[in-house]
Amino acid sequence: MNKKISLGAAIAFMLIVAAATFSMSMLYAMSTFNEKVYSVKERESTYSKIAEIDSYVRQNYIGSITETRLTDATAEGFLAGTGDPYAKYYDASSYARLLEDYSNKSVQIGIVTTMDESGYIRIVEVYPDSPAQAVGLEVDDLIVNIDETDVSKDNYAEAVGMLRGEPGTKMTIVLRKGVEDTTLEMTRRFVEVPSVNTSMLDNYIGLVTFKEFNDNTPDQFNKQINGLIDQGAAGLIFDVRGVSSGTLRSVAQVLDKLLPEGVIVSSTNKNGETTVLETSDAREVALPMEVLVNEKTSGEAELFAQAIRDYNKGGIVGTTTAGKGTMQTTFPLTDGSAIRLTTARYNPPVSPSYDGVGVQPDFEVKMTEEQAALSAAMGGVENDPQLKKAVEAITVVIKSGGSLETMETADPSVSQPEQASSSSSEESSSEDTDSSSDDGEEEDDEDSSSEDEEESSSEAEETSSAEEEESASEDEESSSNAEQESSASEDEESSSDSQ
């Protein structure tokens, strides 16, 4: 039986709904208005105080005021007052240098220096394809004079600054090799600073060492990682120890080369809104991996290590990282200066944010100051206990046929990113190895590359020493329970270190 609603009742109902809607809208509008008014009042109070201070200073200060310096100092103080530990003000010249650093190209002669005991400039690294390399500068050479200015402890900072200048400008240095001094004329130019280096360890294990992540890192990384693969690398160890500077975009591009399809990183802002920032395509490098970290690994470098583990591509060796999981955004100002603010927190692909807690290693291996100094001076796996453990861990995976099942997996209670699990099938291995080259090779080259990898892996197994096989066997047996393996390994390493 149908019931009819009278016209009056319908009109009354509509009026009630309209009144409720109007009331809700008014409440929201009033709330928003009150927040804005409160914010405006706060700003007025701040500006009023600054104006009052400015008035007293200009009327009573007996010295002269440099307006640019005063404005810059005011901006610095304003950011310091926010309590943001990563907030920073860049004046126009500092911001220009920052952009130069991001591009990793600067006008110089292509060397890394330190102060020698004598006060001279000692060369600790010579960049490839640089003016310094062209004239034969070498590590441990001393620069004792620049443009007829003697270098000493008193003017060391100024002398180092003299190495830079406008592109195309010339400079004269006196170079000391041993006891012999040579006068050289050099021309400054743009030099691309290497941010990643690679080498092949025993048993076809590739070592990739990052200095920082900047705009040129992805291209440098792609070339060098392809070179390792062409040499038949059976596994890759990434060293991000001490890396604390970088851009998110460069880290994401490097990870895109290594990871399967899925989210690389998202961020959560002050309003609790989460945004996906970077993703990876389906192409990946299908090789076992390990990442070396320490307490100085910070920011985007921590994200790099965590993402590798979240996608079950490899484990982490070293010590707990710094725990800087926040995103800073740089805002250019109209006068050429800029400010940097913390605007969000990073979210790794699977794991919770590492901000404030750091990234925990799967195998905790500490290094004493003596061990670190020996490793820096002598190099080599045997002089670096963290690298030695990473080699042992990746050898276990290589001996198991490239399967990552022996490694600790992500928490199953947390939803995994799409295709986050490691591909161990023959078809995936062939496809992924091809994608790692990114240079348009034919399918015949793909099969050849895959066969080379398998042959190099077999060769690595045959050439392993008996001591390595025994150690790998013990590690593989202990890895039957991933969670227990990680805990036991950490306890074991801590115990051996304490001895």
Which CATH number does the domain housing residue 464 bear? Answer: 3.90.226.10
Task: Tell me the per-residue pLDDT of 335-346, one tens digit each, with 9 for 90 and over.
Answer: 999 999 999 999
> Does 184 share its domain with 216?
no
Q: Is residue 439 part of a domain?
A: yes
Question: Does residue 73 belong to any structural domain of this protein?
Answer: no
How many domains is the chain partitioned into structurally?
2
* 91-108 pLDDT tens trace: 998 888 788 766 655 668
Structure tokens at 286: 């299908």
CATH number of the domain bearing residue 162: 2.30.42.10
What's residue 107's pLDDT?
66
**The 196-201 sheet, strands edge to edge:** 196-201, 205-210, 235-239, 289-293, 314-318, 363-364
| Residue 282 belongs to some domain of the structure | yes
Identify the pLDDT of residue 461. 40
Alpha-carbon span 138 to 177, nearest angstrom: 9
What is the pTM for the complete model shown?
0.66
Average of pLDDT values for 439-453?
Answer: 41
**In this structure, are 140 and 109 located in the same domain?**
yes
- Let me know whether 225 and 322 are in one domain: yes
Between 127 and 45, where is the model more confident? 127
| Residue ending a domain, choose from 160, 192, 224 | 192
Residue with tokens 């048993």: 203
Residue 177 pairs in a beta bridge with 180
- C-alpha atoms less than 13 angstroms from C-alpha of 112 in its C-beta half-sphere: 11
Residues 158 and 220 occupy one common structural domain? no
Are both 259 and 161 inside the same structural domain? no
On whether residue 385 sits in a domain, the answer given is yes
Quick one: 220 and 354 in the same domain? yes
Give whole-number Cα distances, 332 to 88, 105, 326, 339, 485, in Å.
Answer: 12, 20, 20, 7, 49
* Residues 247 and 366 grouped into a single domain: yes
Q: What is the mean pLDDT of residues 301-321?
A: 97
Q: What is the mean pLDDT of residues 199-225?
A: 94
Do 145 and 227 share a structural domain?
no
Give the residue-averaged pLDDT of 351-380: 91
pLDDT exceeds cutoff 70 at 203 = yes
Residue 81: inside a domain: no
Class of residue 282 by CB neighbours under 10 A (exposed 0-12, middle 13-18, buried 19+):
middle
In a domain, 474, yes or no: yes
Residues 453, 467 share a domain: yes
Share of the chain above pLDDT 90, in %: 57
Residues 225-229 have a mean pLDDT of 96
In the predicted model, what is the mean pLDDT of residues 201-220? 94
- Is 36 within the bounds of a domain? no
- Which of 163, 192, 221 delimits the end of a domain? 192
Specify whether 228 is located in the same domain as 240.
Answer: yes
Q: State pLDDT tens for residues 109-154.
A: 989 899 999 999 999 989 888 999 999 999 999 999 999 999 999 9
Inform me whether the pLDDT recorded for 55 exceeds 60.
yes
Give the HSE-up count for residue 200: Cα atoms under 13 Å, Cβ half-sphere. Answer: 15
394 and 480 together in one domain: yes
Do both 166 and 249 map to the same domain?
no
Q: Is residue 491 situated within a structural domain? A: yes
Average pLDDT over residues 62-86: 93
pLDDT band of residue 377 (cuts 50, 70, 90) is confident
pLDDT band at 30 (very low <50, low <70, confident <90, very high): low
Domain housing 127: 105-192
Q: Domain boundary residue among 169, 192, 215? A: 192
